[in-house]
Amino acid sequence: MYSNKAMEKTREILKEKGVKPSIQRIKIFKCLMCDGDHPTAKDIYGRVSKEIPTLSKTTIYNTVKLFADKGILKPIRIREGEVRYDIKADLHAHFRCNKCGNLFDLNEKFLIKEKEEIDGHLIEEKCVCYSGICKDCRKEDGF
Ligand SMILES: [Zn+2]
Ligand SMILES: [Zn+2]
């Protein structure tokens, strides 16, 4: 359940970032916030359209683009042709499971240096992603 208080908080965050907090935007934000699993735009559409059946895919795409422009979320490209969205703005590394495809946040912050330049290259985007078999899949496999 998303309480009124949480709703109000979301409204504040959006306003702070210069985004008009419409009900659609609040729901999309909430979806990213609560699930924390780096959904794709398609995933978000699937979830939010259950609550707002009139919602169009275009609205989702426009909203995630707006959120990204305002620094509310970060698009992450782990695989070719797949963009996922991350609401956690601080630098963190990811782990992608080769079996179930889930993307996990890793709390190993030291992996990403706060440098803006390395070996003379200007850093514009930082992403560190490990891949392998996630803990859930390992359990299933009897490890
Ligand atoms: Zn897995
Ligand atoms: Zn993340």
pLDDT digits (tens, 9 = 90+) for 86-100: 987 677 888 999 999
**Contact status, residue 121 vs residue 84, Cβ threshold 8 Å:** no
Cα 27 to ligand 2 centroid, rounded to whole Å: 19
Q: Which ligand is nearest to the CA of 127?
A: 2
Residue with more model confidence, 113 or 63: 63
**Contact status, residue 78 vs residue 94, Cβ threshold 8 Å:** yes
pLDDT band at 127 (very low <50, low <70, confident <90, very high): confident
Chain centre distance of CA 106: 14
Q: Which ligand is nearest to the CA of 104?
A: 2
d(CA 84, CA 18): 23
* Residues surrounding ion ligand 2 at CB below 5 Å: 86, 88, 105
Q: Which ligand is nearest to the CA of 101?
A: 1
How many CB atoms within 10 Å of residue 76? 17
Sheet holding 129-132: strands in order across? 103-106, 93-97, 129-132
